Amino acid sequence: MICHSWKRSFSSSTRAKTSNLLGLYPQPPITFTHGTKSTLFDTASKKYLDFNSGIAVNALGHNDPDVVEAIRDQAGKLIHLSNLYRNEYGDKCATMLVNGLVGTEDFRKKWWGEADNCKVFFCNSGTEANEAAIKFARKMARVRNAESPATGILSFSNAFHGRSMGALSATPNLKYQAPFAPLVPGFSTSPYNDITALDAVDWSSICGVILEPMQGEGGVFPVKPEFLKALRERCDSVGAMLIFDEIQCGVGRSGKMYMHQWGTVCPDILSLAKPLANGLPMGAVVLRETVAKNIKPGDHGTTFGGGPLATRVACVVLEKVGKPEFLKHVETVSALLFERLHALHAKYPSIIKEVRGKGLLVGLELQGGAVASRFVELCLLHGDMLVISAGSNTVRMAPPLVITEDEIKYACSVFEKVAGVLEAEVKK
């Protein structure tokens, strides 16, 4: 098995100097200064293709003119207010989120009810959004049964829901959990996409089920439609809240506004974050009317969430991403990417196990001694290109949604070169 580190891949002379930043992240010795669309530039003005977009955050790419103008103008007016007062863009942003969720299909309109009755809670990150969703699920259990409420939260293998204690408790990965045990009690795990395994769950104890319709950090695994249907039925049988975590796969990344809209199952609660404000910290939780009406003042809160700067930028993002032609572009470039990756798989079957994903969240799982972290390094070394890894020895691709067909073709040419180098390394 070949595994290298940034430290060994680059000469010591190019490494960053000692920093006061806490060393939580292994970083290449490059300092970026600016970007435009899918391109980043370092201190020497060298160009790099960003096939990561800040871990699926910069949906509109870097330096989008409408985002820049919104930030510039709003920063000169009002940045922070707190939620003790209304701001100019909070209600508008919430309405745009709800309208994109309800859509035009009759069954979705029936599920969500009148759009005015769906409510949105704004926060600052994905983990905050999931913490709120978990709290709301437990509140609903007390509404149903104040004397003896169910308190259990069910999550699934390979899930990643965040690093704060509640979200971490729903993230069944010892690498993340073990250093911080004991975790929050009441959390259990079942295999992802395994309907039969649901029979082993004590559903009488469950108040909420949280899952990603397409897992990102865990290895880019899309959910099976029949699995969602089974979950919806079991949740309904005990009154548990079905929570969809679309923090990484939502807001256009799959080719639809929300990943679950490729199917017919709807959640009670939806958590969002990463691309919402194209790089400004922002999270959101959308609640179905049956949930929202039971959340009262004081049940939850935030100081910074939903401020005028973040919500104004989010309005720009939602307006642009929500256009049919924008989502059509995502589907078009996605089809090209998958076509090229499947051809790469066919050419290098000894080191590439599987291509999977949807839209522009794509995983390339490696095998045969090839290691995803090495693939990532080689993309930078041989193609000035940024990709990242995920669980299950998977190379994760999450480029800006404005990526072009020419950039997709270039990326795949780099992948082919890297696959050849990696295959040769493994055979040594």
Could you report the average pLDDT of every consecutive run of 10 residues in the chain (428 residues)?
A: 42 55 88 97 97 97 98 98 95 96 87 86 98 98 95 97 97 95 97 98 98 97 98 98 98 97 96 98 96 95 96 98 98 98 98 98 97 97 96 97 98 98 92
Q: What is the pLDDT of residue 17?
A: 59
Calpha distance 273→388 (Å, rounded): 19
Counting other chains too, the contacts that 42-48 makes at CB distance below 8 Å and 24 or more residues apart are 46/384, 47/384, 48/380, 48/384, 48/385, 48/386
**Which pLDDT score is estimated for 15?**
45
Can you give the pLDDT at residue 113?
81
The alpha-helical segments, DSSP class H, found in 145-240 are 165-169, 174-177, 225-238
Residue 43, token pair as written in the block: 């201190």
Task: Extract the tokens encoding 122.
Answer: 């704004």
For residues 323 and 328, give the distance between their C-alpha atoms in angstroms, rounded to a whole number: 9
C-beta separation of 276 from 128 below 8 A: no
Sign of the Cα torsion 16, 22, 23, 26 reads negative
At residue 116, the pLDDT reads 78
Per-residue model confidence (pLDDT) at position 14: 42
> What local confidence, expressed as pLDDT, does residue 103 receive?
82
pLDDT value at residue 27: 87
Instruction: Say how many C-beta atoms besides its own lie within 10 A of residue 233's C-beta.
Output: 11
* Res 278: pLDDT: 98
**Token reading at 155:** 């999550």
- Specify the DSSP class assigned to residue 240: P
CA dist 83 to 49, 118, 122, 278, Å? 39, 19, 10, 22
Predicted confidence at residue 324, as pLDDT, reads 97
DSSP SS3 for 205: helix
Q: What is the pLDDT of residue 115?
A: 72
**Phi, psi (degrees; rounded to nearest 5) at 5:** -125, 160
